[in-house]
Amino acid sequence: MDLNQVPSDSRWRIPGRGRPRDRALGPEPGDRSPAFPPPSACPVAGGEAGTGFAADVAPMPAEWSSAGYGPSALDSLLASAEQFITLFYRENRLGAPDRRLWHVRRRIETSGTYWHTPAELEFGARVAWRNSSRCIGRLYWRSLRVRDCREVTAAPDIAAESVTHLREATNGGRIRPVITVFAPDAPDRPGPRILNSQLVRYAGYETGYGAVIGDPANTGLTRLAYDLGWPGRRPAGRFDVLPLLVQEAGAPVTVHEIPADAVLEIPIEHPEFRWFANLGLRWYAVPVISDMYLEIGGICYPAAPFNGWYMGTEIGSRDLGDSGRYDQLAVIAAHMGLSVTSDRNLWKDRAMTELNVAVLDSFSTAGVTITDHHTESVRFLQHIEREERHGRACPADWTWIVPPAASSATPVFHRTYEDFDQTPNFYRHPPLGERTWPSFHDLRQRVDEVAALRRPRDGEHAPHLRMLEEQVGVEEQG
Ligand code: ARG
């Protein structure tokens, strides 16, 4: 996966064009081209703008980084906020958003940020899922349960709430889509971070000579956990659950073990091949993505773990099958009595199919929600249709939507999609090792800059906003 597209300062970006594209909600193909559509292809930023205030605000700059607050940064935040609030009011048929817009604008001008209402947060998180163009499972976007933990900032509390998230999402096997939203980034205080890419991750122990025990995808995280004092399991196993690594604002990263009874795992067996169970494979029930930030109306929630349920190929074709992961195809083929000396007998294809059969069967037998790629492909096309009925275009990235097994046997293969970026959305943080956190000193300076910026700008509101203030300003200020 090419994580290098994401600049290290992306946490301080204001949403809009030029955002990092490393979104991940599904299987991960080797080759992805970051195809940006022209801005006009984005229904919220462009096409629908005429219905609300967004039509009047200046276009957002191509990008904005942590160099400091400038007038354009505040304008961008304002534009994003207006766009989101307008969308929220329109889709929920709440009437004119004027009063709320006025409030939000005041808050941004005085403090450099604003606070979403619980209803806005819930809607924003759901629409972030709806806008995730790499996710095939979006039919149920409205069912996302939103846990509002924005007041939670201390690392032990974040770890504890993450464990509660796991339990609530697992729900005894009837998996529920859940997101837990922790404190947002604010000009004077960055929000907390979870360094694990998912709440449940298996350790990848480097043994030297390039060999890894466990999941090679997690060697960096495992090393970091070690460096922070995590002793690792003895002996090292292939499926050792890593602790949570959490960083609260301005503090060092801390290590938090996840209680074993919060992690539901499924031993992988095959309905026909008795020997399969002896491979000792297992996987966890709930994929809770925790290294992506949630962006709603210009506000960045850097820790907002979210989950759906698995589609079998994620585990069968990728996690257990990829040569850079658990690399099980040759072992399975050998047990199946297939020669692995030539590719021509399609031993990889046959082993992968049986591995996928085993994953689906094991989850179902254990009573744990999982979907298969055929079912999910049909549902995704239903989702697109439903979105179109609501007058919304559905962004989709073919390279991520098309399943990594039996691709052309699924209907999602046989068409193209429009892909475009619109917020709210989820974006990946820079990878471990490339992250930078602004110091408190820097942040303090930015707050001062906000205050300084505000003064000369007071008299130069955009005309539509001045009108608005005249309409509602007096009563609101009192
Ligand atoms: N592909 C990832 C994995 O195999 C999980 C990504 C999220 N998947 C999901 N079904 N919500 O762990």
> Residues 187-200: pLDDT tens digits?
989 999 999 999 99
The answer, yes or no, to whether residue 13 has pLDDT greater than 50, is no
The answer, yes or no, to whether residue 321 has pLDDT greater than 60, is yes
- Centre of ligand 1 to C-alpha 287, Å, is 5
Mean pLDDT of the 239-247 span: 98
- Centre of ligand 1 to C-alpha 426, Å, is 14
Q: What is the mean pLDDT of the chain?
A: 82
- Centre of ligand 1 to C-alpha 166, Å, is 14
Please report, in angstroms and rounded to a whole number, the separation of the first and last CA atoms in the chain: 53
Tell me, using a 6 A CB cutoff, whether residue 310 lines ligand 1.
yes
| pLDDT above 70 as % of the chain | 76
Marked catalytic residue, from 12, 102, 129, 309: 309
Marked catalytic residue, from 138, 147, 189, 446: 138
335-344: burial string, b at 16+ Cβ within 10 Å, e else: beebeeeeee
pLDDT tens-digit readout, 401-428: 999 999 999 999 999 999 999 999 999 9
The answer, yes or no, to whether residue 180 has pLDDT greater than 90, is yes
Distance CA 141, CA 158 (A): 25
Q: What letter would DSSP give residue 12?
A: G
DSSP string, 430-462: PPTTS-----HHHHHHHHHHHHHHHHHHTT---
- 403: Cβ–Cβ under 8 A, 6 or more apart, which residues? 27, 136, 311, 313, 317, 373, 376, 377, 410, 412
Q: How confident is the model at residue 436 (pLDDT cuts 50, 70, 90)?
A: low
Question: Does residue 460 carry a catalytic annotation?
Answer: no
User: Would you say how long the chain is, in residues?
Assistant: 478
Q: How confident is the model at residue 70 (pLDDT cuts 50, 70, 90)?
A: low
In this structure, the residue with its CA closest to atom 5 of ligand 1 is 287
What atom of ligand 1 comes closest to residue 198's alpha carbon?
12
Do residues 370 and 312 make contact, with C-beta atoms less than 8 angstroms apart? Answer: yes
Mean pLDDT of the 89-96 span: 98
- 165: Cβ–Cβ under 8 A, 6 or more apart, which residues? 147, 178, 180, 199, 288, 305, 307
Do residues 424 and 297 make contact, with C-beta atoms less than 8 angstroms apart? Answer: yes
- What's the confidence (pLDDT) of residue 442? 52
Mean pLDDT of the 433-438 span: 58
Distance of CA 75 to the CA centre of its chain: 26
- Centre of ligand 1 to C-alpha 313, Å, is 10
Question: Does residue 135 carry a catalytic annotation?
Answer: yes
- Centre of ligand 1 to C-alpha 116, Å, is 28
User: Which tokens go with 289?
Assistant: 């993505």
Marked catalytic residue, from 314, 394, 428, 446: 314
Closest by alpha carbon to 295, among 396, 185, 162?
A: 185
Tell me, using a 6 A CB cutoff, whether residue 314 lines ligand 1.
yes
User: Which tokens go with 459?
Assistant: 């008299």
User: Which tokens go with 176?
Assistant: 């529920």
- Higher per-residue pLDDT: 409 or 38: 409
The answer, yes or no, to whether residue 60 has pLDDT greater than 90, is no
- What's the confidence (pLDDT) of residue 51? 22
In this structure, the residue with its CA closest to atom 11 of ligand 1 is 308
SS3 220: helix
- Higher per-residue pLDDT: 415 or 63: 415
Tell me, using a 6 A CB cutoff, whether residue 311 lines ligand 1.
yes
- What's the confidence (pLDDT) of residue 434? 66
Mean pLDDT of the 105-113 span: 97
The answer, yes or no, to whether residue 461 has pLDDT greater than 60, is no
Closest by alpha carbon to 246, among 375, 159, 165?
A: 159
The whole-model pTM stands at 0.81
**98-111 vs 463-477: helix crossing angle, rounded to 10:** 90
Q: What letter would DSSP give residue 408?
A: G
- What's the confidence (pLDDT) of residue 118? 98
SS3 416: coil
- Centre of ligand 1 to C-alpha 26, Å, is 5
Do residues 156 and 182 make contact, with C-beta atoms less than 8 angstroms apart? Answer: no
Q: How far is CA 314 from CA 254, 322, 384, in A?
A: 30, 10, 22
Distance CA 328, CA 291 (A): 26
- Please provide residue 194's backbone torsions phi and psi, each rounded to the nearest 5 degrees: -110, 125
Which of left, alpha, beta for 268 (phi over 0: left; psi -120 to 50: alpha)?
A: beta
Tell me, using a 6 A CB cutoff, whether residue 287 lines ligand 1.
yes
What atom of ligand 1 comes closest to residue 308's alpha carbon?
11
Tell me, using a 6 A CB cutoff, whether residue 175 lines ligand 1.
no
Mutate which of 1, 23, 25, 290 for ligand 1 pocket (most atoms within 8 A of beta carbon): 25
pLDDT tens-digit readout, 271-316: 999 999 999 999 999 999 999 999 999 999 999 999 999 999 999 9
Q: How confident is the model at residue 168 (pLDDT cuts 50, 70, 90)?
A: very high
User: Which tokens go with 30?
Assistant: 């080797």
User: Which tokens go with 275?
Assistant: 């020997």
